[in-house]
């Protein structure tokens, strides 16, 4: 499997304020570092009551900053140095009290001072609120949320669920993996902002009887990676997924289906409302002509049963033929002669773009090698002809798409 370093080269100031969710920040640092970021931890006094700077130093590999009076800084201006180096400040957890301080522009300890002193145009502030549900829903906190939005602060969460105090509701800090995904998405250029994408993914399952069916080895990973990359690029995404075991990418609207007919029913009525349709699903070409209501039994039968098959509709070709068709992108899963087969499908399905890949080398894998084919041209992704992580490839396909749709890059 190829490695992915989503945050390589990014320097993150991670602020911790007082709250039991500080224990999750240990995992957060680990994940940020694993994603390639350098992390400078800053802790308030209250945060140090919940987790020690020793832990955070060991995980980040850097001495934790805790005081605005730290004489080790040559210019004695920790708040300036910290915020000038950072690509972003992430405060996680952000307590109700700290949010109130941000609203007021207070600067009486290092973290709030650093937030206030940051150059706003190049050092964004993201916060992950964490507090009891009553504190979160209090009009004072909600007023502060509005002001923080207006000031350009980006709020990640909070989540809903069980709270450390034993209550249940809004106010849980987002899970560390989700925060890293959100931060990663934040840094992606918003090249598809305002675009509506419809994506199919995974295999379909065509029932023979209540316990058996015909399916294939598609894992859905490429389609799910495309959905995630599209959301990261600012698009609104609906993902129609066959039976797969994959978590829904954040911000994606997911519709689960089993069979090709169900996939068609989910796709066709809404396709025209979308700007782009990407068909990554490995739709079963045939389904049993009739469905046995009960399990087909072996008992007493001397010969194996035979099944009559009937052809499934071609969902991609049907979408491409709509009067108000979105821009259609197909995927061709082949086992040989990739270019030839891909181009033949492009013409047969009357679509402007098709992505060829080798079925056995993609199904179930985390990486892939693609051939981007249109009517006159073709190019390999990755360009060196090797393999790359499916999310990396998906991001490159979003760039390709934005170029073909003549969308102007905007961040
Ligand atoms: N596709 C579809 N509906 C189908 C079959 C395929 O929407 N019933 C879409 C796939 O999602 C993919 C493209 O068509 O984007 C090509 O799929 P593929 O299975 O490679 O091609 P087929 O049209 O099935 O042709 P063949 O089986 O001959 O390779």
Query: pLDDT for 91-140, tens place per residue?
Result: 999 999 999 999 999 999 999 999 999 999 999 999 999 999 999 999 99
- Check the CA dihedral 229-233-239-245 and report its sign: positive
Mean per-residue pLDDT, 389-396: 97
Pocket test for ligand 1, best of 206, 268, 314 (most atoms within 8 A of CB): 314
Q: Which residues pair with 354 in a beta bridge?
A: 330, 373
285 lines ligand 1 (CB under 6 A): yes
Residue extent(s) of CATH 3.40.50.10300 domains in the chain: 196-404
Predicted confidence (pLDDT) at residue 71 exceeds the cutoff of 90: no
88 lines ligand 1 (CB under 6 A): no
Predicted confidence (pLDDT) at residue 409 exceeds the cutoff of 90: no
Mean per-residue pLDDT, 386-409: 93
Res 228: pLDDT: 98
330 lines ligand 1 (CB under 6 A): yes
How many angstroms is it from 282 CA to the middle of ligand 1? 7
Residue extent(s) of CATH 3.40.50.1950 domains in the chain: 11-187
Shortest-distance Cα residue to atom 12 of ligand 1: 331
pLDDT bin (cut points 50, 70, 90) of residue 364 is confident
pLDDT tens digits for range 240-265: 999 999 999 999 999 999 999 999 99
Phi, psi at 399, each rounded to 5°: -65, -45
In whole numbers, what is the pLDDT of the chain averaged over residues? 95
314 lines ligand 1 (CB under 6 A): yes
- Check the CA dihedral 149-152-157-163 and report its sign: negative
Shortest-distance Cα residue to atom 21 of ligand 1: 332
Whether the full predicted model's pTM is greater than 0.85, yes or no, is: yes
Res 408: pLDDT: 67
Res 3: pLDDT: 58
How many angstroms is it from 392 CA to the middle of ligand 1? 24
pLDDT bin (cut points 50, 70, 90) of residue 158 is very high
How many angstroms is it from 332 CA to the middle of ligand 1? 7
Res 50: pLDDT: 98
The mean-pLDDT minimum among 155-169, 292-306, 386-400 falls in 292-306
pLDDT tens digits for range 7-24: 999 999 999 999 999 999
Pocket test for ligand 1, best of 283, 309, 348 (most atoms within 8 A of CB): 283
pLDDT tens digits for range 338-359: 999 999 999 999 999 999 999 8
pLDDT tens digits for range 215-226: 999 999 999 999
317 lines ligand 1 (CB under 6 A): no
99 lines ligand 1 (CB under 6 A): no
Res 2: pLDDT: 45
Residues 83, 114 contacting (CB under 8 angstroms): yes
Is 123 in the active site? no
Predicted confidence (pLDDT) at residue 88 exceeds the cutoff of 60: yes
How many angstroms is it from 295 CA to the middle of ligand 1? 29
Res 211: pLDDT: 96
Res 359: pLDDT: 83
Mean per-residue pLDDT, 142-166: 96
How many angstroms is it from 351 CA to the middle of ligand 1? 12
364 or 150, which is more confident? Answer: 150
331 lines ligand 1 (CB under 6 A): yes
**Long-range contacts formed by 188-191: CB under 8 A, 24+ apart:** 188/229, 188/232, 188/233, 188/395, 189/233, 189/409, 189/410, 189/411, 190/233, 190/234, 190/410, 190/411, 191/233, 191/234, 191/398, 191/399, 191/402, 191/407, 191/409, 191/410
Residues 21, 52 contacting (CB under 8 angstroms): no
CATH superfamily, domain 11-187, is Flavin prenyltransferase-like (3.40.50.1950)
Shortest-distance Cα residue to atom 27 of ligand 1: 285
CATH class of the 196-404 domain in this structure: alpha beta
Catalytic residue among 22, 115, 123, 165: 165
């Amino acid at each position: 499997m190829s490695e992915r370093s989503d945050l390589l080269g990014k320097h993150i100031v991670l602020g911790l304020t007082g709250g039991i969710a500080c224990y999750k920040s240990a995992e957060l640092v680990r994940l940020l570092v694993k994603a390639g970021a350098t992390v400078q931890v800053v802790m308030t006094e209250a945060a140090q009551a919940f987790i020690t700077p020793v832990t955070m130093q060991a995980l980040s590999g850097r001495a934790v900053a805790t005081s605005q009076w730290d004489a080790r800084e040559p210019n004695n201006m920790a708040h300036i140095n910290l915020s000038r180096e950072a690509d972003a400040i992430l405060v996680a957890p952000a307590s109700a009290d700290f949010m109130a301080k941000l609203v007021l522009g207070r600067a009486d300890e290092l973290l709030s001072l650093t937030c206030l002193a940051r150059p706003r145009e190049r050092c964004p502030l993201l916060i992950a609120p964490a507090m009891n549900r009553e504190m979160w829903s209090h009009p004072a906190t909600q007023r502060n949320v509005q002001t923080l939005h207006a000031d350009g602060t980006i709020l990640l969460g909070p989540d809903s669920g069980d709270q450390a105090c034993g209550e249940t509701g809004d106010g849980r800090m987002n899970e560390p993996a989700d925060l890293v995904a959100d931060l990663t998405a934040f840094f992606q250029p918003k090249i598809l902002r305002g675009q509506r994408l419809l994506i199919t993914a995974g295999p379909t399952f065509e029932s023979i009887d209540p316990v058996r069916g015909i399916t294939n080895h598609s894992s859905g990973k490429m389609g799910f990676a495309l959905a995630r990359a599209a959301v990261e690029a600012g698009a609104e995404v609906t993902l129609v997924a066959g039976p797969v075991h994959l978590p829904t990418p954040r911000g994606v609207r997911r519709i689960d289906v089993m069979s090709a007919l169900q996939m068609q029913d989910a796709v066709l009525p809404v396709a025209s409302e979308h700007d782009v349709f990407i068909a990554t699903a490995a739709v079963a070409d045939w389904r049993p002509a009739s469905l046995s209501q009960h399990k087909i039994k072996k008992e007493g039968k001397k010969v194996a049963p035979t099944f009559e098959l009937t052809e499934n509709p071609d969902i991609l070709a049907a979408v491409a033929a709509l009067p108000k068709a979105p821009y259609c992108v197909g995927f061709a899963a082949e086992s040989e002669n990739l270019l030839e087969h891909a181009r033949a499908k492009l013409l047969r399905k009357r679509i402007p773009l098709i992505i060829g890949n080798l079925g056995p080398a993609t199904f179930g894998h985390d990486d892939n090698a693609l051939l981007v084919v249109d009517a006159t041209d073709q190019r390999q992704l990755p360009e060196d002809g090797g393999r790359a992580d499916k999310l990396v490839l998906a991001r490159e396909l979003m760039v390709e798409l934005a170029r073909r749709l003549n969308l102007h890059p905007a961040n």
